[in-house]
Amino acid sequence: MDKFCLVAMMLFAMQRNMADHPIVDVIDAIDRERDILTRAAFLEIEFVNAMYKCLIYDASFGVYDKYFDNEQFRERVLPL
């Protein structure tokens, strides 16, 4: 698991009030919601969703806000 997936999992957990749940519970919740998508593809969608909420609705994800400006993360989810 790379750093992007870990950050996206934490954003997923924060959006669903699961921030203090064990990571195993968060992964189980991701697997229930992702349906036929791969876990990585689902986490990319979750990251974009969180970035949208941060930019448009001025929502804050605390220390995770800095990852929305990370060039490597943006290249992974945004088209050229």
Q: Is the pTM of this model over 0.75?
A: yes
Read off the tokens for 55.
Answer: 């930019």
Element (H, E) at 70: none
* Cα–Cα distance list, 71 to 19, 35, 76 (Å): 25, 29, 9
Task: Please write the tens of the pLDDT for every residue from 23-33.
Answer: 999 999 999 99
Task: Please write the tens of the pLDDT for every residue from 49-77.
Answer: 999 999 899 889 988 999 998 999 988 88
Tell me the mean pLDDT in the region 34-60.
92
Query: In a 10 Å sphere around its CB, with 0-12 CB exposed, 13-18 middle and 19+ buried, how is residue 7 labelled?
Result: buried
